[in-house]
Amino acid sequence: MCGIVGYIGKKPAFPILLAGLKRLEYRGYDSFGFSVLDGKKPFLFKKTGKISQFEQEFPDPNGEIGIAHTRWATTGAVTDANAHPHFDCKKEIFLVHNGIIENYQEIRNQLIKEGHKFNSECDTEVLSHLIEKHFRGNLEEAVRETLREVKGTYGIAVVSKRDPQKIVVARLSSPLLLGIGQDEFLVASDPAAVITHTRQVINLDDNEIAVLKPGNFFILKEKPLETIEWERGEAEKKGYPHFTIKEIMEQPESLENTLKGRLLINEGTAKLGGLEAIQDKLRKIKRLNIIACGTARHAALVGEYMLEEYANIPAEVDSASEFRYRKPVLDKDTAAIFVSQSGETADTLAALKEVKQRGLITLGIVNVVGSSVARETDAGIYIRSGPEIAVASTKATTSQIAALALLTLFLGRQRDMALVMGQRITKELAKIPELVKKILEQDVQIEELAEKYKNFDNFMYIGRKYDYPTAREGAHKIKEVAYVHAEGCRGGELKHCELALIDENFPTVAICPSNSVYEKMMSNIEEIKARGGPIIAVATEGNEDIKNLVDDVIYIPKTLEMLTPILALIPLQLFAYHSGVLRGHNVDKPRNLAKSVTVE
């Protein structure tokens, strides 16, 4: 989704902006643009398409101040004119924006009446004209007045030839951080864009305006410095052909990081520093709502099963995009848990605001440190997966499930989970990274399987209990990266509808580890087999019998039933990845999708 980078310092701005935009490409975009103040005539370049298509023709503007943007179209088609930066009538004020100006039409009509000439259909353009209208010599004042008139969400960066030695930035519900370097400052919508320059950042809060000047900067309120914990190289491919496969392969380490220092095996519980301050309040909680979008929602569904079975707390998963529009019954004993890799998903944030208004306890399960969900929830658990660049989430998902298992231990041991049960879960969790490593060794076989099945255009994924969410996520993954139609279905529901789809051209991936619902899954597999559907089973090592029933088997090691989804997801991620590559798709940046969906 849209990305912002800005630079002010002593070096030529353009190469820094270009490098920053490239580090934001993973978010998905359809057009991009730059504006650099080069003393006399401001430089402006904006185009639809990918940056790499134009790199040869980029001019080399002078100037140490500039802003840049990748756009993912919402209001207005994908055209050069609608790309950012947007500018005023005199082409003296340039602005990039993430978010949506909801009342843009009304403002635009008014400004047109006042004589302003618009160049695009994009909602953002009203901001540059409003700033022009309010400009009386000081850019931040004009920005402040402008923002009072708009409704919606924004992260903006503005430069102007008329007040040239500064970048003015502001945010409301759209992430923006300042990178604080040695005699240079950056602004970006995502830490990935600043990390090669500095790890010292300040995350802007809603309604804050900051002014970056060549030697200093100020915000309207004092803010503490935070440190990005990611290593520089983590956001690079490290020899892998795609971020997707790099991130799949990183899961032994990312899971290790999620669990590090948090498993108290003797006490049979989890040490979660982020929850300690509110542990007494959590003891009184009687209900949980888990709210998330996309893949994070599938991790949340696994959490629902775990929290009910082992912490004995009724739990319900909501799609963040639906939550505000139904009438959720939330009483004071309910806590809401927000699961989000980015911590910036607009729907998740909107649901969080709604819950906060009702005065409930809010918890975040988040990857990006300092993100909006992390800052706006009362307490939480960082999943510590490191930067996830590929649009389709993989390593964050398994870490989200591991974090939900830690939460289950924490809340369960506050309630009636027996010490021995807590010890069993902690011991099994500790083994998970090693087990994941073993599964990853089957990459070549799974690639062969993807080759064998590459001509099928439809897949059914089935699972029961903990592996129903696994089936949903397996289907989600192959849709995202291979553009293959897939359905994720509860094994028990098949005969009520989806069985009608099954024939020899509609293969099924059946997640059927040896657990409490194994026999039931076998009946579902029989139902499919009787209709001639090819079947790939994900089964527990040692289960030789299953080979007689299905066409192909992928084995995963034995673990606790509640932790099986972490293991079962690994081959499904690999299968989706290889299917996408074999079909020739850009697996890291699937068409029409974005990494961080910052609009509703």
Least Cβ distance, residue 374 to ligand G6P (angstroms): 11
The position carrying tokens 């899954």 is: 521
How far apart are the C-alpha atoms of 40 and 503, rounded to whole Å?
69
How far apart are the C-alpha atoms of 73 and 40, rounded to whole Å?
31
Residue 428, both tokens: 């099994």
Which residue's CB is nearer to ligand G6P, number 294 or number 303? 294
Q: Out of 42, 294, 474, 565, which residue is the one contacting ligand G6P (CB under 6 A)?
A: 294
Inter-CA distances, 251 with 255, 259, 439, 512, Å: 6, 12, 11, 22
Contact region with ligand G6P (CB under 6 A), list: 107-115, 289-297, 301-309, 349-357: 289-297
Number of Cβ within a 10 Å radius of residue 242: 19
Active-site hit among 2, 293, 489, 512: 2
How far apart are the C-alpha atoms of 381 and 365, rounded to whole Å?
5
Least Cβ distance, residue 479 to ligand G6P (angstroms): 11
Query: Reading across the β-sheet that carries 93-101, which strands appear in turn?
Result: 86-87, 93-101, 152-160, 167-172, 208-212, 217-219
Q: What is the 3-state secondary structure (H, E, C) of 362-415?
A: EEEEECCCCCHHHHHCCEEEECCCCCCCCCCCCHHHHHHHHHHHHHHHHHHHHC
Q: Is 595 a catalytic residue?
A: yes
Least Cβ distance, residue 597 to ligand G6P (angstroms): 5
Least Cβ distance, residue 576 to ligand G6P (angstroms): 12
How far apart are the C-alpha atoms of 71 and 89, rounded to whole Å?
22
How far apart are the C-alpha atoms of 146 and 104, rounded to whole Å?
12
Which residue's CB is nearer to ligand G6P, number 275 or number 396? 396
299 neighbors 293 (Cβ within 8 angstroms): no
Which residue's CB is nearer to ligand G6P, number 158 or number 351? 351
Return the residues of window 365-404 that contact ligand G6P according to CB under 6 A.
391-393
Which residue's CB is nearer to ligand G6P, number 296 or number 313? 296
**H helix or E strand, kind and range, residue 290:** strand 287-292
Least Cβ distance, residue 192 to ligand G6P (angstroms): 14
Residue 582, both tokens: 């074999």
Which residue's CB is nearer to ligand G6P, number 295 or number 334? 295
Least Cβ distance, residue 165 to ligand G6P (angstroms): 36
Contacts of 113 (CB under 8 A, 6+ apart): none
How far apart are the C-alpha atoms of 415 and 288, rounded to whole Å?
14
Active-site hit among 166, 465, 589, 595: 595
596 neighbors 372 (Cβ within 8 angstroms): no
Which residue's CB is nearer to ligand G6P, number 278 or number 350? 350
Least Cβ distance, residue 180 to ligand G6P (angstroms): 25
Number of residues that bind ligand G6P (CB under 6 A): 16
Q: Out of 248, 296, 335, 537, which residue is the one contacting ligand G6P (CB under 6 A)?
A: 296
Return the residues of window 36-75 that contact ligand G6P according to CB under 6 A.
none
**H helix or E strand, kind and range, residue 555:** strand 552-556
Which residue's CB is nearer to ligand G6P, number 31 or number 348? 348
Which residue's CB is nearer to ligand G6P, number 136 or number 591? 591
How far apart are the C-alpha atoms of 406 and 400, rounded to whole Å?
10
Which residue's CB is nearer to ligand G6P, number 157 or number 296? 296
User: Going by DSSP bridges, is the β-strand pair 334-340/287-292 parallel, antiparallel, or unpaired?
Assistant: parallel
Return the residues of window 568-597 that contact ligand G6P according to CB under 6 A.
593, 595-597
H-assigned helices in 96-173: 104-113, 125-134, 139-149
Least Cβ distance, residue 471 to ligand G6P (angstroms): 16
How far apart are the C-alpha atoms of 482 and 466, rounded to whole Å?
25
- Backbone conformation region of residue 336, classed left if phi is above 0, alpha if psi is from -120 to 50, else beta: beta
219 binds ligand G6P (CB under 6 A): no
Return the residues of window 304-363 that contact ligand G6P according to CB under 6 A.
340-342, 345, 348
Whose CB is nearest to ligand G6P?
Answer: 294
Least Cβ distance, residue 572 to ligand G6P (angstroms): 15
Nearest to 6 by CA among 72, 91, 97, 76: 97
Which residues sit at the interface with ligand G6P, rule CB under 6 A?
A: 293-296, 340-342, 345, 348, 391-393, 593, 595-597
Catalytic annotation, residues? 2, 595
